[in-house]
Each structure stands twice: as structure tokens, then as C-alpha cells.
Structure 1
């Protein structure tokens, strides 16, 4: 399955450039960098000086695809174990 704006929540996020567009915590706004880690509830963004762990729930992210297209995703759509979220078979709400 190719990486498109519609399929982004089903894909591996590590390696994509991301930015916090909106969120419940105003201190997180504007954080940006490359996604280097992902857990069930957080994304780790590598900035210029350190990795910042941003909660998925209550946050809106902008991801830049390799084509240069910017995709906005509500973090609540990403809350799941990465392996479960990206699976292609079984009972998954992402299919």
C-alpha cells in the first residue's frame, strides 16, 4: 500500500518529518522534527538539540510526505501500538 494522505495512519511514522500544529498543551505548539520513536501514546520528534516526546491524544500533527505534500492528522487517530496500527490483516479499525 503506497503512502498517501488517506493511508498515512496505517503506515510507519518513523522517518517522517512532523510538526505539532495544535494541541491541548500550548507549550507543545510548533515542535517539529523527524519522528525517531513511536509508542502507543507518544511520538518522539528529533529536533536540533534533543528528542521531544509529544503525546498523541489531544494533539494535531502535520506530516510531510516524501512528495512534499503536508498531511494533517488528529493524534487520536494514531493512538495504538505501532505494530497493531500498521497491520494489514486481522480485526483492525484502520482497515
Structure 2
């Protein structure tokens, strides 16, 4: 179960996220859904923009690549609870970070 205490050990793709603080002021307040994760970055898809495509409801979206180190993220859980996490706690391969067995420093 995804709780504030276990967030750093769970899959982040699909969660709503917002950049709360960071070394790069251009990235502040970026918010949207996490669509990609690498060892050192999160890809946050920002919706909105001009209507595109054949259906009027479609909107252009952009994915912002945000470095984990030096950034604080705020994630929204399914319960609506907001959890702030220092990005340095997330720096690792996603598969390694979410391990539940073996000798993992993330358990």
C-alpha cells in the first residue's frame, strides 16, 4: 500500500507531482503526472496548452525532465494527501529503488 512512509519505495510513474523547490529556478512549480523515471530524473507531463488533434478536447502536452538531485517534489497520493520528498532520496535506478527483497537500502 502506498503511504507517505513508503512512497520512496514505490513506483512513481502515474502519480501527480509538483516541483516545490530546487537548484534551477526555471523548474519551480512544474506540475503534472510523472510519465518517466530514470536514475537521475523524473519526466513530468504538463497538460494544457492549445487544442490539438481531431477532437476538440485534446490538448498539447509537454514533458519536463527534472533532475532528482537538488530538487524537492510534492506527490499527491490517491487519498489526496500531499507528500514532500527530497529528490536526493529518489536517486537510484527505479527497479533498484523499489526492490522489496534482498539487501536493499530502500527497505
Q: What TM-score do you get using the length of structure 2 for normalisation? A: 0.86
Match of 1:82 in 2: 94
Asked if 1:65 corresponds to 2:77, the answer is: yes
Deviations 1:46-93 (A, max 9, x none): 002300000000000000000000000000000000000001011111
Q: Distance in 1 between matches of 2:41 and 2:71?
A: 10
Q: Distance in 2 between matches of 1:4 and 1:79?
A: 19
What is the SS of the residue equivalent to 2:105?
A: coil
1:1-95 to 2 correspondences below 5 Å: 2-48=1-47, 49-95=61-107
Q: How many residues align?
A: 94
Q: Name stretches of at least 5 consecutive residues in structure 1 with no aligned partner.
A: none
Instruction: Give the structure with higher Rg (CA).
Output: 2
Q: Name stretches of at least 5 consecutive residues in structure 2 with no aligned partner.
A: 48-60
Q: CA RMSD in A?
A: 0.5
Q: What TM-score do you get using the length of structure 1 for normalisation? A: 0.97
